[in-house]
Amino acid sequence: MKSEPSAYGIDDLQREKTTIWDGVRNYQARNILGEMKKGDLAFFYHSNCKPPAIVGLMEIVETSIVDPTQFDRTSPYFDPKATPEKPRWHTVKVKFREKFAQSLSLEILKKNFNPEDFLVVKKGNRLSVMPVNNAVAKAIIDLI
DNA sequence: GCCAACGTTGGC
DNA sequence: GCCAACGTTGGC
């Protein structure tokens, strides 16, 4: 799960313990959020920064949360087509698990994984939420 | 700051 | 339904 650290980074999550992962406005990413189960683990990825990197681990603690920002006219994520009766955007609540002592830069990830196995290293991929298969997840943990 | 790689919008 | 124009993401 990606976030720009200037907006919300791993340190923010460590401080707040949990957060609602709001602001996802891409249907494919939303669908992946929708498949998440309570207890699932997720990597926290810092994007649009130097260096882009996996920086920690989170746990999904609540699913199918209506993203409140879609109704907030003052939010950049406001969606005029969404109503409380028919919300368009659901998300999850995540809990801080770990900030890795050593973050795994995109450069390192590219050296260790193929785009077919791990979407994060695929060129041009802009999805902010991506699935990671178990084998890759274990290999990532082993890299730390 | 540039630009590739998308996703979305809207005219037709 | 097609597709050009436009907007956004995010690495570099």
Mean pLDDT of A19-24: 96
Nearest protein residue to nucleotide B7, judged by CA and C1' positions: A26
Kindly list the domain boundaries of chain A, sorted by start residue: 2-143
Q: How far is the CA of A60 from the C1' of C6 (A)?
A: 36
Strand B proximal residues, A:104-123, Cβ < 7 Å: 123
Beta-bridged to residue A59, according to DSSP, are A41, A95
Shortest CA distance to A117 belongs to which of A92, A88, A138, A144? A138
pLDDT per residue as tens digits for the range A37-85: 999 999 999 999 999 999 999 999 999 999 999 999 888 899 988 888 8
Distance spanning both ends of chain A, measured CA to CA: 18
pLDDT at residue A6 in the model: 93
> A124 to each of A15, A16, A103, A115, A121, how far by Cα in Å?
32, 32, 22, 11, 9
pLDDT over 90 at A124, yes or no = no
Q: How far apart are CA A61 and CA A70, in angstroms?
A: 21
- In angstroms, the CA of A10 and the C1' of C9 are apart by 20
Residue A95 has pLDDT above 90, yes or no: yes
CATH class of A2-143: alpha beta
